[in-house]
Structure 1
């Protein structure tokens, strides 16, 4: 007998449990504050054992850290080859954000807000930021047929990530901002050479 459907069901159940734990953690962090919320409270709200929380998230900080980077890198690698670096990033941002529901986008920006305002989370996220810079630089270099150490690859990577970070900061400070649209406009401005009109 083929057990593939059972594996699929098990994986879907795991994904639902993980999403529920993270959703309840975000709710509690919003209501009580990050420092005042315990893993035990999160487990109780999600109706799981504390050990289950730790099975999905090794640390309390991991409840907030974004795990979409592998998807983003995959989309960047497979973006149309004729697109330049900034156009490719615009393509990827549109692609990744288009498949997210409004609730997922709101949860993502709430996680970003916490990462920017809670010192422990900012410190924990630094490793992710370094990994993102390196990963994006490597893919952009490969797309251009250049080594990752090329100064022009470094510069374009820094410019792209600087624009994205600036928008994320604004979006995390103003939840009403149409983040995807503003991000697309900002990358279009970068692609145009950042003219001051």
Structure 2
């Protein structure tokens, strides 16, 4: 298979996932998470149950699976090496939030808000969310490359990533509890400053045009 066909296939898969997930989030919001079945989601999305399970093996995945980790990792990998780890990681988290929850993408902003509220209120999702945090921490460390290569560097990277993600989680919970009225990137920056100091982020990160929408819509 050519690279072009492979890329097209990946984009179609990402689009299918977004469509299914959007219907799932809508049903969870309208009917409640426990009252909505996988068959309900498949029917609403216009796909077969087999297709649904191929993209989302479990009901929890309908809420938890996303491509935000890829966006964050790419932002970190593109940031200048040699900066404090908290600045590289924190800057990527703030920039990703600006791309995913900006005023120019109200539907995606609403979906993110409902997903977060579901994660906060549903015990099964809260437990699985910890797995997602670990996977995101691993992706962050991999994106740091040589700066996390040795045992000591890897330990420092793990500590920095863990602290940044804890600050992120605190900001996301506050944002969800406030019904998304606050400025999410500013809230994340405030949480990071509470942990690392006011100069954690430095200048506001610039969000490239290719990332001002969801990761699956990156312009080629």
TM range (shorter): 0.7 to 0.9
Structure 1 unaligned residues grouped into runs of 5+? none
**In the alignment, which residue of structure 2 is the partner of 1:123?**
127
Describe the shift of the 1:145–1:60 C-alpha distance in structure 2 as closer, same or farther (beyond 3 A).
closer
The normalised TM-score by structure 2 is 0.73
Deviates more, 1:147-156 or 1:28-37: 147-156
Structure 2 unaligned residues grouped into runs of 5+? 200-220
Q: How many residues align?
A: 193
**CA distance in 1 between partners of 2:148 and 2:36 (Å):** 46
Alignment root-mean-square deviation, CA: 3.0
> How does 1:95-114 map onto structure 2 within 5 Å?
95-100=95-100, 101-114=105-118
**CA distance in 2 between partners of 1:13 and 1:157 (Å):** 32
**CA distance in 2 between partners of 1:170 and 1:60 (Å):** 25
Describe the shift of the 1:124–1:152 C-alpha distance in structure 2 as closer, same or farther (beyond 3 A).
closer
Q: Give the alignment partner of residue 173 of structure 1, picking from 156, 172, 177.
A: 177
> How does 1:23-42 map onto structure 2 within 5 Å?
23-42=22-41
Contact map agreement 1:22 1:63 (CA 8 A) in 2: yes
The normalised TM-score by structure 1 is 0.80
How far 1:156 moved relative to its partner? 3.1
**CA distance in 2 between partners of 1:148 and 1:17 (Å):** 42
**In the alignment, which residue of structure 2 is the partner of 1:183?**
188
Contact map agreement 2:27 2:41 (CA 8 A) in 1: yes
**CA distance in 1 between partners of 2:187 and 2:134 (Å):** 24
Describe the shift of the 1:18–1:137 C-alpha distance in structure 2 as closer, same or farther (beyond 3 A).
closer
Q: Which has the larger radius of gyration?
A: 1
